[in-house]
């Protein structure tokens, strides 16, 4: 029986390495912006050198007719030492008080993965703001609102037991007030080994909807599935509830087979009406789309939280 709450788009996968207009190994894990007249993806593209960079793709409907740039928007060869090994897994947020958009991404170097921040006003030029967190840290996503004047960002320190944390900043450069938000469940659970933020948090009347990935280690390797949680509107470090079961898991051949099999990894999406459009990397080998009802996601969180 199908247990996924998200519904896959029938045209999946939407983008593969064959669609990139230059030689690459693979494409996956895209940041997303709904521009109204078009959908913009910030693709993680892995070159044949093995390093990743960010390339832009545009579509009038977010499904077809992708126009993909012929060169990188952000490249690890731009002279930033903490990106020497690559730029990965970008999340994009329009944050109140900021002109344009903020990008949170993994800056990978010989020191390990760190959290980099950047700003763009037009997706033509990019300004690096520097590292928010040093290695080892991944899966960063900014909130679109500030809390008592402070910016807030989810992230996942590698030495913190695989938990999602939150940090606050007055200026996007100095981060503190760290709090653990969501730990892995441990044991045999589908999100027992580690968890990480997926999309930037989505504001609802009941709280901040957080879509996250959960990892279970198997003898054959990890399985990445997707869950949902609800955070307090005013104090987002406080977890209200989370789903007991996943909302999307690898089932299709393009999710089961690839450079890293059995992976669904969301980085971006947007809301239209009651529908959440979630773009995800499948098996580290393609870009896919799945949709779900926001009200059904919230109802599932409430119901499964009551189950204990």
Domains of the chain: 7-307 (2.115.10.20)
| Global model pTM greater than 0.95 | yes
Dihedral-angle region of residue 149 (phi above 0 means left; psi in -120 to 50 means alpha; beta otherwise): left
Please tell me the predicted confidence (pLDDT) of residue 4: 84
Q: For the segment 120-150, what is each residue's pLDDT rounded down to a tens digit?
A: 999 999 999 999 999 999 999 999 999 999 9
Token pair recorded at residue 292: 């779900």
Question: What are the tens digits of pLDDT across the range 221-277?
Answer: 999 999 999 999 999 999 999 999 999 999 999 999 999 999 999 999 999 999 999
The radius of gyration of the chain's CA atoms, rounded to the nearest angstrom, is: 18
pLDDT digits over 74-111, tens only? 999 778 999 999 999 999 999 999 999 999 999 999 99
* DSSP-assigned beta bridge partners for residue 211: 228
Higher model confidence: residue 231 or residue 306?
231
Task: Tell whether the model's pLDDT for residue 69 goes beyond 50.
Answer: yes
Query: Taking every pair of C-alpha atoms in the chain, what is the biggest distance, in angstroms?
Result: 52
- 189 by Cβ neighbours in 10 Å (0-12 / 13-18 / 19+) ranks as middle
């Amino acid at each position: 029986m199908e247990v996924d709450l998200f519904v896959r788009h029938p045209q999946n996968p939407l983008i593969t390495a064959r669609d990139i207009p230059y030689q690459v190994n693979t494409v996956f894990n895209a940041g997303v912006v709904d521009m109204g007249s078009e959908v913009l993806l910030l693709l993680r593209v892995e070159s044949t050198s093995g390093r990743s960079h960010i390339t832009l793709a545009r579509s009038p409907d977010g499904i077809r007719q992708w126009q993909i740039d012929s060169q990188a928007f952000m490249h690890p060869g731009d002279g930033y030492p903490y990106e020497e090994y690559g730029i990965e897994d970008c999340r994009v947020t329009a944050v109140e008080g900021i002109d344009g958009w903020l990008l949170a991404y993994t800056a990978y170097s010989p020191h390990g993965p760190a959290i980099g921040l950047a700003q763009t006003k037009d997706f033509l030029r990019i300004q690096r703001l520097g590292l928010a967190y040093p290695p080892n840290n991944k899966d960063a996503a900014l909130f679109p609102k500030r809390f008592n004047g402070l910016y807030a960002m989810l992230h996942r320190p590698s030495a913190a037991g695989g938990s999602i944390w939150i940090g606050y900043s007055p200026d996007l450069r100095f981060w503190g007030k760290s709090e653990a938000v969501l730990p892995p469940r441990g044991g045999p659970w589908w999100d027992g080994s580690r968890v990480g933020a997926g999309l930037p948090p989505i504001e609802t009347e009941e709280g901040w909807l957080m879509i996250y990935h959960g990892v279970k280690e198997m003898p054959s390797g990890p399985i990445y599935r997707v869950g949902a949680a609800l955070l307090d509107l005013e104090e987002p470090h406080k977890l209200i509830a989370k789903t007991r079961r996943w909302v999307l898991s690898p089932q299709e051949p393009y999710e089961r087979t690839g450079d890293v099999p059995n992976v669904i990894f969301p980085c971006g999406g947007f809301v239209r009406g009651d529908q959440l459009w979630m773009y995800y990397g499948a098996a580290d080998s393609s870009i896919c789309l799945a949709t779900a009802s926001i009200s059904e996601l919230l109802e599932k969180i409430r119901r499964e939280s009551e189950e204990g």
